[in-house]
Amino acid sequence: MEGSLRMARMECRNLTFTYAQADRPALQGISLTVARGEFVVLSGPSGSGKSTLLRLLKREVSPGGTLHGSILLEGRPLQDWDDREAAAAVGLVMQHPDNQLVVDRVEHELAFGMENFGLSRGEMKRRMAEMAGFFGLEPLLARRTDELSGGQKQTVNLAAVLMMQPSVLLLDEPLAQLDPLAARDLLGMIKRLNEEWGITVILSEHRIDDLLPLADRIVRLEHGEIAFQGPPREFASEAWARGGDEWAASLPAVTSWALNRGENREGLPPLLPPLTVKEARAWLSSDSLSERGITAGGAQEEEAKRTSRDEPILLGASGLYFSYDPRTPAVIRGLEWDVRLGDWISLFGGNGSGKSTLLQLMAGLRKPQRGEVKLSGERLKKIPETARYARIGYLAQNPLLHYAHETLEEDLRHAALRAGLPEPTEEARGLARRFGIEQLMDRHPHDLSGGERQLGALAMTLASRPELLLLDEPTKGLDPMAKRRLAGHLAEAHRLGTAIVMATHDVEFAAAYATRCSLLFRGEIVADDRPEAFFRGNLFYATALHRLFASTRPVANSVGEEPIFL
């Protein structure tokens, strides 16, 4: 990276913003100063205003509405900056990577911004060589952008933004579509950019386990207002002191675990809450709690969530082979797999491993070059399309793909019509009540938050009461409380007999709810087991508490109980 990258200071002064035709402000009285070179994490529930704030800070994509107050960059009002200077100084990586990609090939995407700024060919090549090497994008340069995985698209977007060498980097949930290893790699790169080149970072994210140790400050938004701002460890202590699920659910698992165990530290001085597994290990060894019986906790009992392998096969994949391009390696290679009645499967795999492709093959949205998929013993390709859509529900990675009308109510009504329900209008209202989104019925899909879009799309998908539900990254973009609500809806569908397969990177969610975990690698299922057995031997596809206890002796649930081996 160039030494020309400059640190910048951003400031919001009593900022209030209301979307056009909205009845209340999306942001209210925001006063926030971000120092040069600071790393700030925006947290808060879905719909709290995080994305709105980031878009306002990037002048070129500011939403339409009424703005009061001011935004300053280096002490100058943002609207007074020259267009070219403002565009170069502030870079934004959007929440949904598809919304930011503009050209067909990765190489062209990386060059797009530099071409618009009229950089010389030599300068463009030099920057591209440097950035492609930094992000490991060289093997993807010739690939079509629409063939990339969600995580690969996000990485390409970040690299394209950094081509302009901004002094302020805004990131809207950049980890949402990344596998655990890729997420840590990306965070490491962002931290290097922040520490070594002084880029000011303002990052919005729900997955804050890995962010708290890196951030200088946490800013929590609630209902468009700042509810807290301060150092990460103060945030952890404040969240615990407030009690209740809203704040405590946003803490890393090891922090919540340690604070919970620390409630009964009789005669011991208070300890600062650990933010990382490393700190939690030191905390664990620093007192006698390790001798009183400790459990990882959080997941359902194995016996309660075990699915018998003797259950009938609902969907079977045999010898599946699929390639997007004969010149590139196949994405799915001779895959053998089955989904049984009563299953709730978490499908793991690295970005680009083929999880989304496999779900689309299982849904009948793509046809394999070889092999076949059977639903209850019947070849999928022989089942009429209408019947197939009714029996297999599919929720895409980008929930906006499920919306085609001007309001949520219209989309829900059309979903009820497609499902052949007798009273589609009443069914739509019933779905909205069931998913807690009735107050959003007159909203345009693009005006919904990420979590609201996800719930609406899930409601449409479940309208036909499918036998099998395929979910592609269902927890992406959801705050912890929204995840719990989503889990409740999925658990109810599962209880009523719907088998679930979800491609995910969310190991904590999988540990809490899945009955099986499977790992896709090089086009094949290479691991398939009950969650506890699956997580126990992994380094990256494991929960924080599994990593915490990975090298400890057997630990007990409580005094007098049999030990659990973690």
CATH of the domain at 366: 3.40.50.300
Nearest Cα neighbor of 31 from 71, 63, 64 is 71
Identify whether residues 280 and 427 lie together within a single domain. no
In the chain, the amino acid numbered 33 is: T
What span, in angstroms and rounded, lies between the C-alpha atoms of 107 and 312?
A: 48
pLDDT digits (tens, 9 = 90+) for 198-253: 899 999 988 777 888 899 999 999 999 999 999 998 888 888 777 666 777 778 88
In the chain, the amino acid numbered 239 is: A
Identify whether residues 284 and 406 lie together within a single domain. no
In a domain? residue 400: yes
Identify whether residues 510 and 397 lie together within a single domain. yes
In a domain? residue 170: yes
Beta bridge partners of 500: 344, 469
Identify whether residues 353 and 326 lie together within a single domain. yes
Identify whether residues 140 and 211 lie together within a single domain. yes
Element (H, E) at 190: helix 180-197
What span, in angstroms and rounded, lies between the C-alpha atoms of 427 and 421?
A: 7
In a domain? residue 550: no
What span, in angstroms and rounded, lies between the C-alpha atoms of 253 and 145?
A: 35
Position 348 confidence tier, pLDDT thresholds 50, 70, 90: very high
Q: Which of 237, 265, 286 is the last residue of a domain?
A: 237
Identify whether residues 357 and 330 lie together within a single domain. yes
Q: What is the DSSP letter of 444?
A: -
Identify whether residues 156 and 119 lie together within a single domain. yes
Identify whether residues 190 and 50 lie together within a single domain. yes
In a domain? residue 312: yes
Which residues, other chains included, contact 192 with Cβ-Cβ below 8 Å and sequence gap of 6+? none
In a domain? residue 190: yes
What span, in angstroms and rounded, lies between the C-alpha atoms of 200 and 347?
A: 36
Q: Is 286 helix (H, G, I), strand (E, B) or coil?
A: coil
Q: Which pLDDT value is given to residue 551?
A: 54
Q: What is the mean pLDDT of residues 342-358?
A: 92
Q: What is the mean pLDDT of residues 93-111?
A: 87
Q: What is the mean pLDDT of residues 452-477?
A: 91
What does the block give as tokens for 130?
A: 């440097």
In a domain? residue 93: yes
Q: What is the mean pLDDT of residues 535-547?
A: 81
pLDDT digits (tens, 9 = 90+) for 480-523: 888 888 899 999 999 999 999 999 988 889 999 999 999 999 99
Which residues, other chains included, contact 118 with Cβ-Cβ below 8 Å and sequence gap of 6+? none
Element (H, E) at 72: strand 65-73
- Domain range spanning residue 265? 252-296
Q: Is 172 helix (H, G, I), strand (E, B) or coil?
A: strand
Q: 10 Å Cβ neighbour count for 305?
A: 17
Higher pLDDT, 532 or 289: 532
In a domain? residue 557: no
In a domain? residue 553: no
Identify whether residues 226 and 257 lie together within a single domain. no
Identify whether residues 339 and 417 lie together within a single domain. yes
Looking at the structure of the chain, the number of domains it has is 3
Identify whether residues 200 and 288 lie together within a single domain. no
Terminal-residue alpha carbon distance, the chain: 43
Q: Which pLDDT value is given to residue 293?
A: 39
Identify whether residues 86 and 114 lie together within a single domain. yes
Cα dihedral 126/131/132/133 (nearest 10): 90
